[in-house]
Chain A
């Protein structure tokens, strides 16, 4: 079997995707489990002209920076086709792979989070009151 890796975007126009990477897991409050779509995870902020970033998730603030990937990632999308053959009783599937994007950078948060207990930011407060807050767990 042979699958050609397709790419309709070409070299110049391959859309760039982004990665925000942090240690540990972000846990959603139990009431939102399974319905996280559209929910806010946190606020990504670039406080200066340097490539340093903060990511505020609930009461926690992470500090990190934008780093180039040593080797880029391509984002592949796999599509499975079911081809029924003529007599229709046996089915075989074929797979298409297409490059839909490329990733050259990630914004990496590898340090432990700082707690924002003494002075929570207004935005976080608002979000908490809206009930849509998520809190990082086991950040280590």
Chain B
């Protein structure tokens, strides 16, 4: 009985370049097997250069479903089965597959052009663009927020080996958070996180308030304009008051924006809306207040030259009517999960029914690739409208 000798003399090239009026024998490869280590990944043509130039990574902890990240986007990876028989044929020169070459017994005169199948692929992996999983970033950073105590402790511990528990450097975050570099950076910005001594931190709100108050106090003393704060001067004065440079600068970043990048010192302008929101949160942090007393205290707290308007508090507070009285309480969109299902569940826990004007500020930041905001509403809410003139009301599905 003559067993046909079949190396992989033709390989994929022979199949792909098969000439008209010719044929080729398709055989099982000498190393045919399940080869679970060979994975087919479907890649959009526009992502291909990123893959071939080693600009993509897989991210996730062992207990999480891995995601694939490019510089700017995150994709979930799904297995798509195929009930057809998919014969996978490698090119001839796939040294990676032959760890133990063993073709010494091949007879040259008996060689025919064959292409050999290394495995039957049960399916392939597919990428689906997803929103970055940034809720975890917030949880990680909130494990150990930066507080005023740390500043005083640091002075005491000068020169001593510091304990770094629950603190994360950029690389630690990349290891733990399933998001692309760009998305992680914008997530850190959205959380007003700051890099202190190499670790990414959220600064405790109370401490931020203290720094801001000191800054405002200094601006009155020194007759600074809140629209044109010289960075060096402001940060320098704060430093002499006991606030580290990084935090003085961070305060400008959180509550203001750069207006002029001069050659020497940058100039900053404090943001009216962000300051007003800060003071509203400070007033409401101990619980709800009657509208009149809230407004009175709020306007009084806001620095001269700034105008508070209740519209600024969209997505930050909710109002409730009890009889003739209106109450205000804090309910900040930034405290809600960014996953749509969890977000809507929290919202309907808060209120079973939402009018559009109240709901909109709490969902406008939700982004789900491939789903519009209308799509989100259809998926997670039930819309009722008693008659065509009435405001639509949204309730849980």
Binding site for B on A (CB under 8 A): 1-7, 9-11, 14-26, 36-49, 53, 55, 69, 71-79, 97-103, 105-107, 130-132
Q: List 6 A-B pairs, Cβ < 8 Å.
A: A6-B54, A17-B12, A43-B23, A48-B20, A77-B37, A77-B39
Query: Are A130 and B4 in contact, with the CB atoms below 8 A?
Result: yes
Most buried by A among B15, B16, B61: B15
Query: Are B54 and A4 in contact, with the CB atoms below 8 A?
Result: yes
Query: Are B89 and A20 in contact, with the CB atoms below 8 A?
Result: yes
Residues of A within 8 A of B59 (CB): 1-3
Interface segment, B90-98, B191-199, B214-222? B90-98
Binding site for A on B (CB under 8 A): 1-6, 12-13, 15-16, 18-32, 36-45, 48-49, 51-54, 56-62, 68, 82-91, 93-94, 96, 114-117, 121, 124, 174-175
Query: Are B37 and A40 in contact, with the CB atoms below 8 A?
Result: no
**Choice from A9, A41, A46 contacting B27 with Cβ under 8 Å:** A41
**Choice from B13, B26, B44 contacting A44 with Cβ under 8 Å:** B26
Query: Are B115 and A18 in contact, with the CB atoms below 8 A?
Result: yes
Query: Are B175 and A1 in contact, with the CB atoms below 8 A?
Result: yes
Query: Are B27 and A38 in contact, with the CB atoms below 8 A?
Result: yes
Query: Are B30 and A37 in contact, with the CB atoms below 8 A?
Result: yes
Complex Cα spacing A78 to B16, Å: 25
Residue of A whose beta carbon sits closest to that of B121? A19
- A-B contact sample (18 more), CB < 8 A, given A3-B57, A21-B86: A5-B58, A7-B51, A7-B53, A19-B87, A37-B31, A38-B30, A43-B24, A44-B23, A44-B24, A46-B20, A46-B22, A55-B26, A75-B40, A78-B38, A100-B38, A103-B40, A131-B1, A132-B3
Query: Are B58 and A97 in contact, with the CB atoms below 8 A?
Result: yes
Complex Cα spacing A15 to B32, Å: 19
Residue of B whose beta carbon sits closest to that of A107? B15
Complex Cα spacing A76 to B93, Å: 16
Query: Are A11 and B49 in contact, with the CB atoms below 8 A?
Result: yes
Complex Cα spacing A20 to B24, Å: 12
Residues of A within 8 A of B94 (CB): 15, 100-101
Complex Cα spacing A73 to B44, Å: 9
B23: min CB distance to chain A, Å: 4
Residues of A within 8 A of B3 (CB): 38, 130, 132
Complex Cα spacing A18 to B83, Å: 18
Residues of B within 8 A of A2 (CB): 57-59, 174-175
B96: min CB distance to chain A, Å: 5
Whether A15 contacts B91 in the complex (CB less than 8 A), given A37-B31, A38-B4, A44-B18, comes out as yes
Query: Are B124 and A73 in contact, with the CB atoms below 8 A?
Result: yes
Residues of B within 8 A of A4 (CB): 54, 56-57
A77: min CB distance to chain B, Å: 6
Residues of A within 8 A of B90 (CB): 15, 17, 75, 101
Residue of B whose beta carbon sits closest to that of A17? B12
Residues of A within 8 A of B39 (CB): 75-78, 97
Query: Are A101 and B22 in contact, with the CB atoms below 8 A?
Result: no
Residues of B within 8 A of A45 (CB): 22-24
Query: Are A5 and B49 in contact, with the CB atoms below 8 A?
Result: no
B13: min CB distance to chain A, Å: 8
Query: Are B21 and A48 in contact, with the CB atoms below 8 A?
Result: yes
Query: Are A15 and B93 in contact, with the CB atoms below 8 A?
Result: yes
Residues of A within 8 A of B45 (CB): 71-72
Residue of A whose beta carbon sits closest to that of B37? A78
A60: min CB distance to chain B, Å: 13
Residue of B whose beta carbon sits closest to that of A6? B54
Residues of A within 8 A of B175 (CB): 1-2
Query: Are B38 and A1 in contact, with the CB atoms below 8 A?
Result: no
Query: Are B43 and A74 in contact, with the CB atoms below 8 A?
Result: yes
Complex Cα spacing A41 to B88, Å: 13
B354: min CB distance to chain A, Å: 40
